Amino acid sequence: MARRLTRSFFARSTLLVARELLGARLVCRVGEEYLVGRVVDVEAYIGESDSACHASRGRTPRNAVMYGPPGHAYVYFTYGMHWMLNVVTERQGVPAAVLIRAIEPLEGLDTLRRRRGGRGDRELTSGPARLCQALGIDRELNGEDMVRGSRLYFEASPGREELPVATTPRIGIDYAREEDRKAPWRFVVAGNPHLSRTRART
DNA sequence: GTAAGGATGCGCT
DNA sequence: GCGCATCCTTACG
Percent pLDDT > 90 in chain A is 92
8 A C-beta contact, residue A100 and residue A45: no
pLDDT band at A158 (very low <50, low <70, confident <90, very high): confident
Residue A46 contacts strand B, CB under 7 A: no
Residue A17 above 50 pLDDT?
yes
In chain A, residues 88 through 147 whose Cβ sits under 7 angstroms from any atom of nucleic acid strand B: 97, 99, 116, 119, 123, 127-130
Q: Which nucleotide is nearest to A77 (CA to C1')?
A: C8
In tens, the pLDDT along A80-130 reads 999 999 999 999 999 999 999 999 999 999 999 999 998 899 999 999 999
Q: Which nucleotide is nearest to A54 (CA to C1')?
A: B7
pLDDT of A201 reads 38
Residue A139 contacts strand C, CB under 7 A: yes
Residue A202 above 50 pLDDT?
no
Residue A57 contacts strand B, CB under 7 A: no
Residue A57 above 70 pLDDT?
yes
In tens, the pLDDT along A178-189 reads 999 999 999 999
Q: Which nucleotide is nearest to A101 (CA to C1')?
A: B7
Q: Which nucleotide is nearest to A58 (CA to C1')?
A: C10
| Average pLDDT over chain A, rounded to an integer | 94
Q: For residue A137, give the nearest of A60, A190, A67, A84 by alpha carbon.
A: A84
Percent pLDDT > 70 in chain A is 98
pLDDT of A199 reads 57
Q: What is the mean pLDDT of residues A10-36?
A: 97
Can you tell me which residue has its alpha carbon closest to the C1' of nucleotide B5? Answer: A79
Q: For residue A168, give the nearest of A184, A157, A155 by alpha carbon.
A: A184
pLDDT of A41 reads 97
- In angstroms, the CA A184 to CA A165 distance is 12
